[in-house]
Chain A
């Protein structure tokens, strides 16, 4: 989980970085350049396969983990107070992950499927920027995207530092740094993502 998770964490940096280009407020010019590069460069295309494989593995591992862990306690406690000893989000990675998967299906449907169809049908290149403008003018979509980002935040907030623990890195001096970095990462990535639908919806960018 940690290995694939870390891989996905690095992907999100690229994803958020490129998308943040919309905030340059140049009518999406820079963004479009990057988007074009990302959808046409063969190295990126190759990496894309890896990304989907990583995501798929992450999901499969999660499901296996869930099944094994469920089996480890066949009879449940009648009365349990887990909030006394652990945080809700650390215990809810499976649920948060499932929410993220649902979000992802919606998200890919919005921005990925169309791009690919356009790419292979040989039509005009898909204008992602325009599509974002359209989708994020609908408040239901904006709401759902924000919900997805919230789920992502808690998933990352636990997942980032958790990955280091799984890799065997727990150190008196460095662990606080890792935790701070994880918090910073989750906050920055998720704020960027959350700002995108909001920016379009409230026309902060033209």
Chain B
């Protein structure tokens, strides 16, 4: 792999806090190695800003290996940037070339208010899980792990849905700011497993109710979420959410 260095123009969204109005600001970075990760390039910029006596850019990040779901940048008009099935922290600078201009914005959603700069508050996702994204089993209540065999196909599908990292790229990228892929993934995972059966109805109804309450938009099946999901979570999970919701809505005795 050939390595090269580049100079870049960055246009980054700066916003002091949730109350203030933000705007894009322009920065120059020089001599960036193609081997750097995108966030390492931001580290370089921030070091530069600190030494210039300026406020560094706040951004969320933690594991930097694509699994914690904390990083969340809208890069050049795409959630997590130009690579497919990839998180911002795994995006590397060889995706860009010398002289490029890169626009970086936070996730934009009513349900993800900006905390500062590129940092947003995704606690709405936690509240959706609180509404029913679990199986009610107290510690110590479990039967032997092999007591209930599970069709490998269902187990595999449940796993693929459970791979969701809760980053919010689906919401950020959806033109409607819908959280259906996130909710669909969790509802699917638990609906596919026999352990999830007892709470199947109430789970989907409560999680969808919470999702609506948080102010997420509606799904219009553009499938942009699937295309931008770093874990490639399938929209089949949204269909499963829909059918679970329909079935539960028709059969529930709750008003």
Q: Which residues of A contact B (CB under 8 A)?
A: 1, 65, 68-69, 71-82, 84-87, 90-91, 93, 158, 161-162, 164-172
Cβ of A92 to closest chain B Cβ, rounded Å: 10
Residues of B within 8 A of A168 (CB): 239-246
Closest Cβ of chain A to B39, distance in Å, is: 20
Closest A residue to B223 by beta carbon equals: A86
Whether the pair B176, A69 counts as a contact (CB closer than 8 A) is: yes
User: Which chain B residues (213-255) contact chain A, with CB distance < 8 Å?
Assistant: 215-224, 227-228, 235-236, 238-246
Cα–Cα, bound, A87→B222 (Å):
7
Q: Are A162 and B175 in contact (CB under 8 A)?
A: no
Our pick among A77, A79, A170 for the contact of B235 (Cβ within 8 Å) is A170
Q: Flag if A162 contacts B221 (CB, 8 Å).
A: yes
Which chain B residue has the least Cβ–Cβ distance from A172? B236
Enumerate chain B residues within 8 angstroms of A75, measured Cβ to Cβ.
Answer: 108
Nearest B residue to A170, CB-CB: B239
Complex CA–CA separation, A195 to B254 (angstroms):
52
Within 8 A of A (CB), among B78-109: 78, 82, 103, 105, 108-109
Contact A69 B218 (CB under 8 A): yes
Contact A166 B242 (CB under 8 A): yes
Measured between beta carbons, the chain A residues less than 8 angstroms from B219 are 166
The distance in angstroms between the C-alpha atoms of A169 and B243, with both chains bound, is 7
Provide the main secondary structure of the chain A interface.
loop
| B37 within 8 A of partner (CB) | no
Main secondary structure of the interface of B (DSSP, over half): mixed
B221 contacts A81, CB within 8 Å? no
- Beyond A165-B242, A168-B239, list 5 extra A-B contacts (CB 8 Å): A72-B110, A72-B177, A77-B74, A78-B105, A86-B222
Cβ-based interface call for B150 (8 A): no
Alpha-carbon distance between A164 and B236 when the two chains are bound, in angstroms: 11
7 A-B contact pairs sorted by A residue (CB < 8 Å): A69-B217, A72-B217, A79-B103, A81-B76, A84-B78, A87-B222, A164-B239
Across the interface, B109 reaches (CB within 8 A) one of A73, A166, A171, namely A73
- Which of B77, B215, B220, B246 interacts with A81 by CB under 8 Å? B77
Partner of B175, one of A68, A71, A82, A170: A82
CA distance A118 to B113 in the complex (A): 59
Closest 5 CB pairs of A and B: A168-B243, A170-B239, A81-B77, A72-B217, A72-B177
Give the residues in chain A near B11, CB-CB below 8 Å.
78-79
Which residue of B24, B217, B235, B244 is within 8 Å of A73 (Cβ)?
A: B217
Check B175 against A81 for contact (C-beta < 8 Å). Answer: no
**Contact A167 B246, beta carbon cutoff 8 Å:** yes
- Rounded to whole angstroms, the CA-CA distance of A74 and B114 in the bound complex is 12
Contacts of B173 in A (CB 8 A): 82, 85
- Smallest CB separation, B10 vs chain A (Å): 12
- Bound-complex Cα distance A169 to B228 (A): 22
Select from chain B the residue with minimum beta-carbon distance to A94: B220
Within the complex, the shortest CB–CB distance from A85 to chain B, in Å, comes to 4
Tell me, yes or no, whether B42 is within 8 Å of chain A by CB.
no
Question: A165 and B235: CB pair below 8 A?
Answer: yes
Q: How far is the CB of A34 from chain B (nearest CB, A)?
A: 35
**B225 to chain A: closest residue by CB:** A85
Name A79's contact: one of B105, B109, B111 (CB within 8 Å): B105
Q: Is the CB of A90 within 8 A of B77?
A: no
Would you call A90 and B221 a contact (CB within 8 A)? yes
Contact of B110 among A73, A81, A85, A93 (CB under 8 A): A73
Closest chain B CB from A168 CB (angstroms):
2
Interface residue from B103, B110, B224 paired with A71 (Cβ < 8 Å): B110
Q: Is there a chain A Cβ closer than 8 Å to B13's Cβ?
A: yes
**CB neighbours of B240 from chain A (8 A):** 168, 170
Q: Which of B97-146 contact A (CB under 8 A)?
A: 103, 105, 108-111
